[in-house]
Amino acid sequence: EYISALRLVRSFGEEKQAEADLDRSSLDFARQRIQQSYLNAIFGTFWYVSTQVIALVVMAAGAWLAIRGDISYGTLFAFVAGLPIVLGPIQAFVSLSEQFFIGRESFQSIKELIDSTIVVLIAMILLAAFVQVWDFVHILIVGFFTNLGR
């Protein structure tokens, strides 16, 4: 689609503008992809490490309480077994945020595809009109020279 769009635009003498638009679009896409990767790396890593630290602190505090005799080992085991239920929504939120960034990028790609399709359709209509006008002019010229010979 990129090559056919460039061919059509070149026929109307706007090659530089089309190439600049496509280059700008590619750079914007690359910047957004890098920004998304950076945010996902920082955000995802922060939440993963923080949930692991919380789990470690809870287990260490529970072990200390169990050693002191304030809670039983069964209570500690039950609490540690239920810890993923508490930390699961945080992990799901991190996963949801990553999906949001991917969805936003997909929406931008679809929008650019629709915009480029409209440009190609308009260029095809203009090219067809251009060819039709020259065909009409050639018919008039040939008709004029044919009438001259009679």
Q: Which two tokens stand for residue 133?
A: 């006008």
For the beta carbon of residue 12, count every other beta carbon within 10 angstroms: 13
Q: Taking the chain, what is the end-to-end CA distance rounded to the nearest angstrom?
A: 50
| Average pLDDT for 2-16 | 57
Query: By percentage, how much of the chain surpasses pLDDT 90?
Result: 0
HSE (side-chain half, CA atoms, 13 Å) at 27: 6
Residue 12's pLDDT is what?
58
Quickly tell me which residue has 């039983």 as its tokens.
Answer: 72
Residue 50: pLDDT over 80: yes
Residue 123's pLDDT is what?
78
Helices within the chain (DSSP H only): 2-10, 15-68, 73-148
d(CA 149, CA 101): 72
Residue 1's pLDDT is what?
46
Q: Which two tokens stand for residue 75?
A: 């209570």
Query: pTM for the complete prediction?
Result: 0.43
- Which amino acid does the sequence have at 85? I
